[in-house]
Amino acid sequence: MAVNPKKLRPYDQPPKVRRPIIPNEPDNAATAFLVAALVWFLAAAGIGLLWVAYQLFPDQLTLHLEMPTVSGVLTFELSPATTTSGFWNSLVYGWLGNAGLGAIFFITPRLLGRRLVSETMAAGAAALWNIGLAAGLVALYVPQLSGSGALTEFPLPVAGVLLLALLLANAAFWRTVLASAERQPYVSIWYFGVALLALLGLYGLISLAQLLSVVKLFSLPATGMALATAFYGRALETLCLGGMAIGTLYYVIPRAAANPLYSWGLAMLGWLLWLGLSTLAPLASLVDVSVPFAITQIGNVATFLLVLPAFLVVANLLLSLSGRWTLVLSPGTIPFALVALTFLVANALLEALGSLGSVRALVGSTEWGIGVRLFALLGTATFAFLALADHAFPRLLRRDWGGTLLAEATLWTAFAGAAVAGLALIAGGIVHGSLLAQAATPAEMDGFVFWFRLGLGAGIGLTALAAAVLALNVFLMYTSARRAEYAIVLDAAAVPAAH
């Protein structure tokens, strides 16, 4: 008669492995931010098409719904104002914000030669950031919940979640930097540090102003809030997104070319000039009779001089490609990065041109400014992060993948989209300004500007196609490519050295 084996008692069983709610493996935070960025890129492009549709046909597409609730009636509104807010927030915070933070948490461990001190903290920042953005994006279409001013419309609870995410991101970054043995970190770390602190400080101050207004302790007048919002938007572009993008380019170009950085001295000179001038340039946006003329002029001079650090960055990185120029003709990271450098120079020159008094008088109240801004966001920043995505995704997903036709398609459709959208509004701004100078009627101006807005629509459509191709490329990489192993840390040994 067979003897049944002894039944294990509970304390005889092996202990269960407890998995943390937020995984702590290397590169988890970078993967979370970059995957979320890809999703937001698709969302921003889709909302951008809706934004253009409202630019073209504002009266025909407006939708207004009222929903009764316990506390009253909530209004859901699709209009030119709400779609504009949705586009800029999803583009700046969703696509570029996630991509920038993902770049920081991918690059920093590799430059410092150690893991993030708290991968869990950084991954938690990714979760909070995207939960807050998703809730905030829905709230933008409910006028009772949203605030006023571009990029500052999120309700206070959403702003609190985003601030907590930024605090966690800063803590994870700075703890890693301070724990590193590097006494003189590579230049990318300097750009990233400024960008993270500026993003936390700027968003904290604008949220504090909203909080004080809600609790009736202090309230900016409408003009003051509009000026603060304009300053915030410009500083967000120059200090935060600009710092993330340039820091990313300083990593990916030498790394992809397997060359050392040409000059540490040029890099640090460019960083110092960028830091000082980018801090002052947003003063140019304070255009109001209540603001002393000298303050606005300081901002205009700083905007004009931002050409200098832009040229230093471009020269240093192009010289770092010495002997590796054949990479320009092959699909991959380097072409994306070179397009970013092209847009960096173009945007700096256009900003410098727009800071001149005669040019401001012509195009100051037209679509010119939005076109130049699209050059910075869809051009410089987007292509810097596309270069990072091309380099990072195979390493994050552990796949042998690169140089595909889909990467080429992403490059050219995104380039055409940014160029067409930006140039359409820049040209439209010149025409609009000329018509204003000639005292043309509103109907005449709308008739001319309509065609330039069609060009904007074509550009945004191409950008949406680029986002879809990029998503398809990453999907195929994950599902069909051969598995490969890459070094997680210490794979940037050739980068910090300089001639």
Residue 258 placed within a domain: yes
Q: What pLDDT, in 10s, does the model give residues 102-119?
A: 999 999 999 998 889 888
Counting every residue written for the chain, the total comes to 499
Residues 226 and 209 sit within 8 Å (Cβ to Cβ): no
pLDDT at 5: 53
Which CATH number is 175's domain given?
Answer: 1.20.210.10
Residues 243 and 262 sit within 8 Å (Cβ to Cβ): no
Residues 247 and 107 sit within 8 Å (Cβ to Cβ): yes
pLDDT at 23: 52
- Phi/psi at 484 (nearest 5 deg)? -145, 160
d(CA 259, CA 251) in angstroms, rounded, equals 11
pLDDT at 499: 43
Q: Could you count the other beta carbons within 10 Å of the beta carbon of residue 249?
A: 29
Task: Please give the torsion angle defined by the CA atoms of residues 368, 274, 168 and 107, in that order, rounded to the nearest 10 degrees.
Answer: 100
Residue 192 placed within a domain: yes
Residue 457 placed within a domain: yes
Residue 493 placed within a domain: no
Per-residue pLDDT 10s for the chain (499 aa) are 455 555 555 555 555 555 555 555 778 999 999 999 999 999 999 999 998 988 888 766 666 555 665 556 666 667 777 888 889 999 999 999 999 999 999 999 999 988 898 889 999 999 999 999 999 888 877 765 665 555 667 888 888 999 999 999 999 999 999 988 777 899 999 999 999 999 999 998 888 877 777 666 666 666 777 788 888 989 999 999 999 999 999 999 999 999 999 999 999 999 999 999 999 999 998 888 888 889 999 999 999 999 999 999 999 999 999 988 888 888 889 999 999 999 999 999 999 999 998 888 888 888 899 999 999 999 999 999 999 999 999 999 988 887 789 999 999 999 999 999 999 999 999 988 888 888 788 887 878 888 898 999 999 999 999 999 999 999 999 998 888 777 654 444 445 454 4
Task: Please give the torsion angle defined by the CA atoms of residues 18, 19, 22 and 28, in that order, rounded to the nearest 10 degrees.
Answer: 140
- For 199, half-sphere exposure in the C-beta direction (CA atoms, 13 angstrom radius) is 30
Per-residue tokens: 45: 């492009």
The range of the structural domain enclosing residue 395 comes to: 23-483
Number of domains in the chain: 1
Nearest 5°: the CA angle 59, 61, 62 is 75
d(CA 459, CA 416) in angstroms, rounded, equals 7
- For 245, half-sphere exposure in the C-beta direction (CA atoms, 13 angstrom radius) is 33
Residue 10 placed within a domain: no
d(CA 347, CA 365) in angstroms, rounded, equals 19
pLDDT at 196: 96
* Partners of 388 in the β-ladder: none
> How much is the pTM?
0.90
Residue 7 placed within a domain: no
Residue 347 placed within a domain: yes
